[in-house]
Structure 1
């Protein structure tokens, strides 16, 4: 990305009407979009949709200008922490629900429950899960924007060719054994890989394994901080994936961009990815030159006893250090984003406002009726200030299994030791 959190500072300006303006620096990931404009209904894809909302806020909020500081998703938290340490944190920034214990626990982000009414934000319109996502130790530390989760994105033409479509819907596996059988049937019929995902870069593989672990009513650590990774359930979850690699029915060396491109090229029947790409894939499938033509979105299938998929929430926070007019200006930006929850939901993410969730406009969004079960099976680990570091350990050890051939039990044992050390700190 071109912009980094370097020297991000609060600056004052003058509007054309002569009123003193508050300049708000806004930190985000989601990717770059240089020509988003201000039409929040026309933009496509995460980067352009969020930037169109920000651009509209910059235009419509009187007395506030917004300087957007996008950065790469993979480096975001390293940079945001460095910005806080250097006293240059953005006035408004996006973060994930799982990071709330870390940032709120350190006193970095502001508790804003007493500011919401004045800013025009009604927390009673947030779903209970959304309110819980931004809550910590009895306070509210941000404004929720979505719930996002892993889905199965399906190429229906290839699935039809493989005989895995019934009544217009994909036939998805209901056990690890059926997963392997379907994958082999698919490869025999199409010559393509059954499943693609980012197993070699970002922790998409971690999230896939976690879902299969939760489906066995297990987790990687307990509420009291005991790591539980080297278990029969974890071994079963990992093996459900590695059996596809061993049979040459999925490629463990694909990164995020390559796995996505393989799916869009028609080189994989299923892509494990999140809600954030539904709008983008819908647009791509409409293009004649794209290998994906008939696109379907499915809930993550249940391969073990209970339905479960990885999920998280995006939210917006402000630093605890900003005060007065600057704080109110930042809250106005949060309120504007909250008001445009339906526009952000066009990405494919699940909305957080009850009034949006119950609206006809939300129900009419493309593919929305195909993954209505996702909200009910959304899961995550217990809260932890070490979430990011724990995820990094799991990503490294799982990649060691499928990229270097490390023994499954040895990798899980090593991960358990490291995660326990993190939890004990």
Structure 2
């Protein structure tokens, strides 16, 4: 009995010690409890691991603020974010794409930041202005940019080198303009092994849409009218951009039909050129046997431009405003942007100029080869219907890619459907 009482007292003492330690750990160096923030992200891919590491580093180095991250599936993310705000259970800070701000800002789902920014140490002029401007609505800052992620060009150095299609610096050697690029791909087809695809990209969905917007943007094409109430892409420029893509498949046979995953084919060393997002950099560089290079999308028309979007940090509207929590959330968001070199490991280009110019960023292989996209990205216009507009264009461009419609038919059909959508 005495022994049992002794053992019980030992375990009770351990339990008491653990509770005290836990209680002490919940306080910062000043003896106060840190602000606890809820943070939502939609990173289903590998970049989720990079963001998890960033949050862990922030928590380790900031005793006054502690962040709990919740990673939600992309397909459900914005629906759940809207529901959370409506039910007064929103996270303190959340990732939002620039292309989604046109829905979130006018619906009063996110807080305006200009009153919060000064106390949080946010300096708007420290961000790349092209990225920042896309987050401003009616003169108000609605989001803190984290990055830009754009469509760029990957190329297989071995395939092009063996075909004699690299210049003295190891870059693809082709003449300017659309014709020069087509001629270059034709040479790849002629000189490379028969099982190599000159150009490879996923045939349906985002890739043709992003390519079209990139080429159309190089001709200063507009998606919508100035008032945002009408489609503005049914014109010679819009058709020319889509015809170029169609010809790669149907006329010149340079882009095979029905490619399910262009990135996988390129990673396997069976594609010479791949148009893809910057996030593919992190995937391709893990493949030890893949000798590849990277560059911005070639200028095929009037000037350099490409499709792109950005991850931003927003402060969802809460049940009751809490200035202390909002300031803490803005401090955390700004810290993520300031430590963008960590995020760049996922392939994204940081939003802050000083990060891009830092040795930490420059030491990362490949990233400096396409860093110019920060100024080349042509963000789509702010519209609360931008995502369904994109769905319409993707569906109609797929008809062209699959040989089910001509460029003229697809553009006409897309224009009608977009105008019907905007009239509602």
Shift in Å, 1:118: 2.1
After TM superposition, the score normalised by the length of structure 2 is 0.84
Give the Å deviation of 1:351: 2.2
In the alignment, the residues of structure 2 paired with residue 249 and residue 206 of structure 1 have an alpha-carbon distance, to the nearest angstrom, of 18
CA distance in 2, matches of 1:76, 1:259: 26
25, 40, 55: which one pairs with 1:16? 25
Alpha-carbon distance in 1 for matches of 2:294, 2:312: 24
Q: Deviations over 1:176-235 (max 9, x none)?
A: 33333332321232221112223324x222110111112223222232333122222222
1:277 aligned residue (272, 280, 301)? 280
- Give the alignment of 1:17-166 within 5 angstroms: 17=26, 19-31=32-44, 46-166=47-167
Q: Deviations over 1:275-309 (max 9, x none)?
A: 2232332232xx2xx4x2x2211110122222221
Query: Alignment partner of 1:240: what SS?
Result: helix
Kindly tell me: are residues 410 and 374 of structure 1, through their superposed partners in 2, closer, same or farther at Cα, counting changes over 3 Å? same
**2:15 is matched with which residue?**
none
> What corresponds to 1:362 in structure 2?
361
Q: Report if aligned partners of 1:112, 1:140 keep a CA contact under 8 Å in 2.
A: yes
CA distance in 2, matches of 1:371, 1:242: 26
In the comparison of the two structures, how many residue pairs are matched?
A: 392
The structure-2 alpha-carbon separation of the partners of 1:411 and 1:328, relative to structure 1 and needing over 3 Å to count, comes to same
**Within 1, Cα distance between the matches of 2:147 and 2:298?**
22
How far is 1:173 from its partner? 5.7
| Alpha-carbon distance change, 148 to 337 in structure 1, aligned in 2, over 3 angstroms | same
Q: Displacement, 1:21?
A: 4.9
CA distance, structure 2, for counterparts of residue 154 and residue 352 of structure 1: 25
Kept in 1: contact 2:59–2:65 (CA 8 A): yes
CA distance in 2, matches of 1:234, 1:404: 18
What are the equivalent positions in structure 2 for 1:280-299 lying under 5 Å apart? 280-284=283-287, 287=288, 290=289, 292=290, 294-299=291-296
Partner of 1:4: none
Cα deviation 1:118-148 (Å, max 9, x = unaligned): 2233333223234323321222112111122
- The answer to whether structure 1 residue 392 and structure 2 residue 391 are counterparts is yes
User: How does the TM-score come out when normalised to structure 1?
Assistant: 0.84
CA contact (8 A) 2:304 2:376 kept: yes
Structure 1 residue 150: deviation in Å? 1.0
Question: How far 1:169 sits from its partner (Å)?
Answer: 0.9
* Contact map agreement 2:128 2:351 (CA 8 A) in 1: yes
Aligned to 1:42: none
Mapped contact 1:110–1:319 kept (Cα < 8 A)? yes
The structure-2 alpha-carbon separation of the partners of 1:302 and 1:27, relative to structure 1 and needing over 3 Å to count, comes to same
Partner SS, residue 328 of structure 1: helix
Task: Name the residue aligned to 1:344.
Answer: 343
CA offset at residue 94 of structure 1? 0.7
Larger radius of gyration: 2
Q: Which runs of 5+ in 1 are unaligned?
A: 1-12, 33-44
- Please report how far the alpha carbon of residue 20 of structure 1 lies from its aligned counterpart in structure 2 after TM superposition: 4.0
Of 196, 200, 222, 1:196 maps to: 200
Q: Show the counterpart of 2:258.
A: 253
Distance 1:175 1:130, change over 3 A: closer
C-alpha distance in 2, partners of 1:53/1:372? Answer: 21
Distance in 2, matches of 1:345 and 1:265, equals 24
- 8 Å CA contact 1:183, 1:244 repeated in 2: no
Residues 220 and 54 (structure 1 numbering): CA distance in 2 closer, same or farther, change over 3 Å? Answer: same
Contact residue 98 and residue 383 of structure 1 kept, 8 A: yes
Q: Deviations over 1:71-115 (max 9, x none)?
A: 333443333334334443332111112222221111110112121
